[in-house]
Amino acid sequence: MTYPNSEETIKVIKDLVSIPSPSGNTNEVITWVENFLADLNVETKRNRKGGLIATIPGKDNDNHRMLTAHVDTLGAIVKEIKPSGRLKLDLIGGFRYNSIEGEYCQIETSSGKIFTGTILMHQTSVHVYQDAGKAERNQDNMEVRIDEKVHTADQVRELGIEVGDFVSFDPRVQVLPNGYIKSRHLDDKASVGILLQLIKQVATDKIELPYTTHFLISNNEEIGYGGNSNITPETVEYLAVDMGAMGDGQSTDEYTVSICVKDASGPYHYAFRKNLVELAKTNEIGYKLDIYPYYGSDASAAIRSGHDIVHGLIGPGIDSSHAFERTHISSIENTTKLIYHYLLSEMVE
């Protein structure tokens, strides 16, 4: 049995995290994925929301599967240009200002110009501000210092920067010799990389899938509605491939595939979950069962929107999610193996 090459998967993940794609501004990364699949002669189409759907015909065309992973990431948008020439931000996605303090960023204007900057506390210098360490990390206190000679709002506007421009964060991706991958936006570009490599193997090796299978690369998951549409009436099983959340009380780790039992939306389909566990056991795949208390997926969004589907959620374990993320190649491999066997398995009865 041959699985996709994990080193190639890591390369794809590096490419993906290096493309800025905050929710609302994802055309560049969707185009990258579109071109990747076009080279494999895999049929794709874009939905009106800007997501991408790839379809591989299967032996059974009456019952379909859908797998989804998302390329949109956390980010920000310019809320205000301050009189000082610095920028006030409004956040895109669920995270805290402290997780981006000191981060390098880029501002993309509506005309496509790119400017760089740094996200800082207004009261950063300890030589000037006595409360530099105590001040709250919030919208009023944090700002973007633009890497241009600007000291007024008018000077910023002369650059072409305006309210509504997207701000993305430097991923700072590193792949270490011991197998760790450190980067922002592993949620969920690690899973997108896994799906792309699996699609490549199916296409290259001409593997016949038992069911027609759709792969939705969604682009609005971080704001709650990436995968709640474009689900064919024939779709029976819907598997979201997203990250496994780590922390106190969690069983998820950086080395296995995490199978979600329940998140903030409620329990996932019991029989589907048991089928995934059985596949992991049968094929000696490292896995953990877990509950994510403050989490929602594209699968739960699909259920909430009224689709009559069997829904599940799995993914690689990601440490410090929505902040300084890290995983390990073994988690990527175990997630890949479980999806590979799932794609070839029979549906839940």
Cα separation of 183 and 12, whole Å? 13
Which residues, other chains included, contact 112 with Cβ-Cβ below 8 Å and sequence gap of 6+? none
Q: Strand order in 326-328's β-sheet? A: 174-175, 180-182, 326-328
pLDDT of residue 52: 98
Confidence of residue 60 (pLDDT cuts 50, 70, 90): very high
- 3-state DSSP call for residue 349? coil
**CA distances to 118, 223, 246, 278, 330 from 295, in Å:** 29, 12, 12, 24, 23
Q: Which residues of 157-167 are buried (b: 16+ CB within 10 A; e: fewer)?
A: eebebeeebbb
pLDDT of residue 237: 98
pLDDT of residue 275: 98
Confidence of residue 67 (pLDDT cuts 50, 70, 90): very high
pLDDT in tens, 170-225: 999 999 999 999 999 999 999 999 999 999 999 999 999 999 999 999 999 999 99
Which element (helix H / strand E) includes 159?
helix 153-159
For helices 6-17 and 27-38, angle between their N-to-C axes, nearest 10 degrees: 150
**Residue positions annotated with a catalytic role:** 221
pLDDT in tens, 114-130: 999 999 999 988 888 88
* Lowest model confidence (mean pLDDT) among 74-88, 124-138, 210-224: 124-138
**Residue 349 scores a pLDDT above 80:** no
Confidence of residue 132 (pLDDT cuts 50, 70, 90): confident
pLDDT in tens, 264-286: 999 999 999 999 999 999 999 99
What token pair was written down for 85?
Answer: 């020439």
Which residues, other chains included, contact 22 with Cβ-Cβ below 8 Å and sequence gap of 6+? 72, 73, 74, 75, 76, 77, 92, 93, 166, 167, 168
**Residue 1 scores a pLDDT above 90:** no
pLDDT in tens, 226-255: 889 999 999 999 999 999 999 999 999 999
The pTM score is 0.97
pLDDT of residue 129: 86
Average pLDDT across the chain, whole number: 96
What token pair was written down for 199?
Answer: 């699609």
